[in-house]
Structure 1
């Protein structure tokens, strides 16, 4: 039996407002959202992850989704997915390991939302590099989604505008 809760992927490069949007959408729909585990990993370890740790990060993200879905109401907003972890692995390490690539291919979401990198770039300690990296990761993400034929909604504007865009899109996806 499938869950009546729909997992919604929120993707985007660094500093595109994904976490802010996830929290706003969860508030709007009176549900929960899953924060990006990578942020916690960096804060706890005081460093960015190494290549061999990427699979653990993706697996932990999914495990947290699986826990959160029990508290979710209609939608579960997921701030990142294994696909993003694989994309960043390719960007920073030249490749993603086979297990991570398989996890990214197998773990799908009912809807995918991509945050456009049009808001001001903000440095955030160890996790964020530059606006030029953000723009390049965004281009790679769109190419990846297109190549895998994953439909997505590209959202822009402030948080309120993005919530309205997502709400209208979700109505069409029901």
Structure 2
């Protein structure tokens, strides 16, 4: 049975790198964040409606990777971003959230969340918006509150370099060996 593990957290907290490292460690696949490719192609000046397009694209990408791994008999699938991230993004930027995203949160099931802490140094790139530590911490608290108030197990991941990866592997092993 395919286990799905979602990596979430504020910008520049190592989500994509962690997904990649975990997929290599477990010899499986990972689903990238759809928003990055969408914004690189369409520009970083996005609208509220763009976030709905991005959310639908993320779910389609997740379904594609899920199907591929199931067909290959592989597990787990590491997912860089889910609808909680879309909810936070919508509400933080536009003070409202699409019903589609809220419904997807209610409908989708995952086996584990890894919440990336903001203890990594900020790395600027063309798409990132919130480099200041106060905003990063506020976003982290929002993600933590969302995870506390839902049923899926979750683990906060922190530390630099191999310590961060080791903490994530320990959390994933806990799920896989239970």
Q: TM-score, normalised by structure 2?
A: 0.89
Who is 1:154 aligned against?
Answer: 156
Q: 4+ runs of 1 displaced by more than 3 Å? A: none
SS at match of 1:66: helix
CA distance in structure 2 between the aligned counterparts of 1:140 and 1:47, rounded to whole angstroms: 23
Shift of residue 105, structure 1, vs aligned partner = 2.2
CA distances 1:14-70 after superposition (whole Å, capped 9, x unpaired): 000000000000111111111111111110011242112222211211111111123
5+ unaligned residues in a row in structure 2: which ranges?
Answer: none
| Aligned partners of 2:110 and 2:152 also within 8 Å | no
Shift of residue 125, structure 1, vs aligned partner = 1.8
SS at match of 1:13: coil
Shift of residue 171, structure 1, vs aligned partner = 2.4
- From 162, 165, 175, the equivalent of 1:173 is 175
RMSD: 1.5
| Aligned partners of 1:123 and 1:129 also within 8 Å | no
Shift of residue 170, structure 1, vs aligned partner = 2.1
| Aligned partners of 1:20 and 1:159 also within 8 Å | no
| Aligned partners of 2:111 and 2:152 also within 8 Å | no
CA distance in structure 2 between the aligned counterparts of 1:29 and 1:19, rounded to whole angstroms: 15
CA distance in structure 1 between the aligned counterparts of 2:161 and 2:75, rounded to whole angstroms: 21
Shift of residue 133, structure 1, vs aligned partner = 2.1
Q: TM-score, normalised by structure 1?
A: 0.91
- From 135, 138, 143, the equivalent of 2:137 is 135
5+ unaligned residues in a row in structure 1: which ranges?
Answer: none
